[in-house]
Chain A
């Protein structure tokens, strides 16, 4: 089998790689090329302008605040979402008190919760954003109505209208809509961990806390790492664009407090007729993404446990 192994693999990969080169790598090279032009996106003529777009980008306050928000998303969202998802998945699969002779089981009603957690995944992100936009309506939205129903009439935050809260409101929506998927993913991962490990741990008197950190997490590490990468893609890419574009003031406001790089690319290309500058920001986004991938891959490298 060793003999000709690579030829064998290459044989399978040629076609997908060719497609990939044509539809992904080639547009990337083109984008980098366009970032050195003054292409408007509205007519086919343009000239080379050297590094003008790049110097302009470095002076652009909106770019820096967008970068900051995108980085916040990329760093914070995976931690929160994966943390929550791990907790829920653990409680659903392992965290319950033993009953009916089964040593390991989830909390009461876990099969019901599993389905409920998955609900948000069924809704398109655009719908989710719209729903939350109604919920955040400071005048008659669900959240403020609930607040006044419990007697907190004086507390009426403006949510998306308040620059201090808006980014967190957006983030909360992303957490709400993505956690369920990872609960299901991690549940599947946990189901493949042999039960005897847990039984042995319980016999030794391990608490739920210890079981989680000593058994579940290490054996689930590969899945968590893939989840991390996937979540980073969501946070830097399309998902964050959709919620910010649909929900926020402006969009991107108030006062640039929620703008993200993907939205900025869109605005520059399609609102301001500055496609070349948009591709420049796209190149910056590419660098951020590559850096993110490199960090995750490096930090995540651990010795794999075989079982």
Chain B
């Protein structure tokens, strides 16, 4: 009975073998080996397809029979808008075969292809697995989109593509210098999101200054409604209303200095005032109980259920929260309230910028095809199709006439009109992902809003993190042009 024992005179027993192999097996634990298998193959040895003849209909000189390889991030916007655009490409070039691949695993699927020198021709580099665009551009993996920008636009040959874009989109695509590496297709309005219906019930309008904001929160609290909630598990949602608030108080230069990682950028008084204003929301108990433990969906659900009035978010929230949003919710977005009359920018200044970054790899076989596909997507028809299908604005300036817009979309259009030239565009989140998300987002703002850090400490911490990033030579640094 019992286990088979080793007969000691015979040396190596079964258990010894098992034990020793278990010991060897242990070193398989670190999960780094998967990384190693994919580098060190030669790059760019593949030939590009021959260029076609440039004509009025085909200004980029696309090879009409060359296949096009298009990889799309299949996220909140779905794939329909892109498949419709692909149909447009196939109509223009009936001989071309388009390989369209929607995926959520952008990085896992494309990283090996970049390393192998065989990337697709057009990529929607978005979502949780977004590839770092600074690294891609720095390593010369991206094609310059300037030919696309200078090409005549789809609808009006007299107008260049670059002149049909919304403010800031083109600049966002430049990392340093003139080349345009990225074409942001969606246009996102960030700000304070609320339900008009919920405000109506409190006989209130959106508070345009901070005293009114606090008064409204106090009124709501009496009725058992919290003033604010936010994605506590991903506190880097807070900047969607906080950064434009800072910019509004201290002017655009403050945000630019922060983006440029200038010494003492965070020590500007505007930053501290904004932090203090938000901290007051916590101190007065205007933040929904338990918010620091909620993820983005949970916080949005609490908000659509009417447990809180305001939430910092971006225009994708309409689509993302659609399932839990009541019919009479009247979702709207507004710019951050004024802190006081000494604010540098008037009420209305807000954050809007491009989303859904499209890139054309430098080693693509058919880069002209990729750019032509983008040109087709930037037509008025495609843009309208995008807006009506996914309830978001596109980077094409206009394209909303004749569409019946939801309250949220209409509020976005109105907010942009009110902002006018005061559209702010903080770049921290696409230039320094780790600094923005892990350090400042989770490490500081999350702690501040949960009451575990004072505004003064928060300012100090932000500055420390920014300085560390500025000093880190392994990170590529950018400056506002």
Binding site for B on A (CB under 8 A): 1-2, 5, 9, 20, 23-24, 27-28, 30-31, 34, 38-46, 52, 56, 62, 133, 136-139, 144, 156, 158-163, 192-194, 222, 226, 229, 232-233, 236-238, 241, 248-250, 252-256, 262, 265-267, 269-275, 277-279, 281-283, 285-286, 289-290, 292-293, 297, 304, 306-307
- Min Cβ gap B288→A in Å is 7
Q: Is the CB of A139 within 8 A of B302?
A: yes
- From A194, A233, A254, contact of B292 by CB (8 A): A254
- From A139, A282, A283, contact of B289 by CB (8 A): A139
Q: Cβ of B404 < 8 Å from any Cβ of A? A: no
Q: Is the CB of A279 within 8 A of B36?
A: yes
Q: Is the CB of B30 within 8 A of A286?
A: yes
How far does the alpha carbon of A131 sit from the alpha carbon of B234 in the complex, in Å? 19
- From B12, B134, B293, contact of A158 by CB (8 A): B293
Which of B40-48, B212-220, B406-414 lies at the interface? Answer: B40-48
Q: Is the CB of A254 within 8 A of B450?
A: yes
Q: Is the CB of A42 within 8 A of B446?
A: no
Instruction: Write out the residue numbers on chain A whose beta carbons fall within 8 Å of the beta carbon of B2.
Output: 192-194, 306-307
Q: Residue on B with the closest CB to A17?
A: B24
Provide 26 A-B residue pairs closer than 8 Å at the C-beta atoms, listed in order of the A residue: A23-B33, A28-B27, A34-B39, A41-B111, A42-B131, A43-B43, A44-B41, A44-B115, A44-B116, A45-B43, A139-B289, A158-B293, A161-B233, A163-B452, A192-B1, A192-B2, A254-B446, A254-B447, A255-B447, A256-B443, A269-B35, A272-B434, A282-B30, A286-B30, A289-B27, A292-B26
Which of B135-143, B173-181, B273-281 lies at the interface? Answer: B135-143
Within 8 A of A (CB), among B1-40: 1-3, 5, 10-12, 15, 18-19, 22-37, 39-40
- From A1, A138, A237, A270, contact of B290 by CB (8 A): A138
Q: Mark B416-438, 1 if CB is under 8 A from A, else 0.
A: 00000000000000000110011
How far does the alpha carbon of A193 sit from the alpha carbon of B474 in the complex, in Å? 59
What 3 pairs across the A-B complex have the smallest Cβ distances? Answer: A282-B32, A138-B290, A161-B292
Within 8 A of A (CB), among B341-372: none
Q: Cβ of B311 < 8 Å from any Cβ of A? A: no
Q: Residue on B with the closest CB to A28?
A: B33
- Decide: A250 near B442, CB < 8 A? Known: A139-B298, A163-B452: yes
Instruction: Write out the residue numbers on chain A whose beta carbons fall within 8 Å of the beta carbon of B437.
Output: 250
Q: Residue on A with the closest CB to B114?
A: A42
- Min Cβ gap A27→B in Å is 3
Q: Is the CB of A158 within 8 A of B450?
A: yes
Q: Cβ of B80 < 8 Å from any Cβ of A? A: no
Instruction: Write out the residue numbers on chain B whose beta carbons fall within 8 Å of the beta carbon of A279.
Output: 32, 35-36
Q: Cβ of B132 < 8 Å from any Cβ of A? A: yes
Q: Cβ of B107 < 8 Å from any Cβ of A? A: yes
Q: Residue on B with the closest CB to A196?
A: B1
Q: Is the CB of B141 within 8 A of A42?
A: yes
Q: Is the CB of A286 within 8 A of B39?
A: no
Q: Is the CB of B434 within 8 A of A271?
A: yes
Instruction: Write out the residue numbers on chain A whose beta carbons fall within 8 Å of the beta carbon of B235.
Output: 249
Q: Residue on B with the closest CB to A193?
A: B2
Instruction: Write out the residue numbers on chain B whose beta carbons fall within 8 Å of the beta carbon of A40.
Output: 132, 135, 138-139
Instruction: Write out the residue numbers on chain B whose beta carbons fall within 8 Å of the beta carbon of A192.
Output: 1-3
User: A41-B35, A162-B292, A274-B474 known; 15 other A-B pairs, CB under 8 Å?
Assistant: A2-B10, A2-B11, A27-B32, A27-B37, A42-B131, A42-B139, A42-B141, A44-B42, A44-B114, A222-B3, A250-B446, A253-B446, A286-B30, A289-B29, A306-B2
- Min Cβ gap B22→A in Å is 6
Q: Cβ of B129 < 8 Å from any Cβ of A? A: yes
How far does the alpha carbon of A27 sit from the alpha carbon of B442 in the complex, in Å? 34
Q: Residue on B with the closest CB to A300?
A: B19
Q: Cβ of B191 < 8 Å from any Cβ of A? A: no
How far does the alpha carbon of A5 sit from the alpha carbon of B105 in the complex, in Å? 50
Instruction: Write out the residue numbers on chain A whose beta carbons fall within 8 Å of the beta carbon of B32.
Output: 27, 31, 265, 278-279, 281-283, 285-286
How far does the alpha carbon of A39 sit from the alpha carbon of B298 in the complex, in Å? 38
- Min Cβ gap A45→B in Å is 7
Q: Cβ of B232 < 8 Å from any Cβ of A? A: yes
Instruction: Write out the residue numbers on chain B whose beta carbons fall within 8 Å of the beta carbon of A43.
Output: 43, 114-115, 135-136, 139-141
- Decide: A139 near B26, CB < 8 A? Known: A44-B43, A265-B31, A273-B132: no
Instruction: Write out the residue numbers on chain A whose beta carbons fall within 8 Å of the beta carbon of B25.
Output: 233
How far does the alpha carbon of A160 sit from the alpha carbon of B295 in the complex, in Å? 10
Which of B12, B39, B290 is most buried by chain A, counting CB atoms within 10 A of its CB? Answer: B39
Q: Is the CB of A255 within 8 A of B442?
A: yes
Within 8 A of A (CB), among B100-149: 107, 111, 114-117, 129, 131-132, 134-136, 138-141
Q: Is the CB of A293 within 8 A of B23?
A: yes
Q: Is the CB of B15 within 8 A of A222?
A: yes
- From A237, A250, A256, A297, contact of B30 by CB (8 A): A237
Q: Is the CB of A31 within 8 A of B292?
A: no
- Decide: A5 near B11, CB < 8 A? Known: A43-B43, A273-B132, A286-B27: yes
How far does the alpha carbon of A279 sit from the alpha carbon of B35 in the complex, in Å? 8
Q: Mark B449-470, 1 if CB is under 8 A from A, else 0.
A: 0101000000000000000000
Instruction: Write out the residue numbers on chain A whose beta carbons fall within 8 Å of the beta carbon of B86.
Output: none
Instruction: Write out the residue numbers on chain B whose beta carbons fall within 8 Å of the beta carbon of A248.
Output: 233
Q: Is the CB of A5 within 8 A of B292?
A: no
- Min Cβ gap B345→A in Å is 31
How far does the alpha carbon of A282 sit from the alpha carbon of B30 in the complex, in Å? 6
Q: Cβ of B294 < 8 Å from any Cβ of A? A: yes
- From B18, B30, B40, B438, contact of A285 by CB (8 A): B30
How far does the alpha carbon of A248 sit from the alpha carbon of B441 in the complex, in Å? 14
Instruction: Write out the residue numbers on chain B whose beta carbons fall within 8 Å of the beta carbon of A226.
Output: 18-19, 22
- Decide: A249 near B114, CB < 8 A? Known: A31-B33, A42-B139: no
Q: Is the CB of B442 within 8 A of A34?
A: no
Q: Is the CB of B1 within 8 A of A139?
A: no
Q: Residue on A with the closest CB to B295?
A: A133
Q: Is the CB of B10 within 8 A of A1?
A: yes
Q: Residue on B with the closest CB to A252?
A: B438
- From B41, B289, B443, B474, contact of A38 by CB (8 A): B474
Q: Is the CB of B232 within 8 A of A249?
A: yes
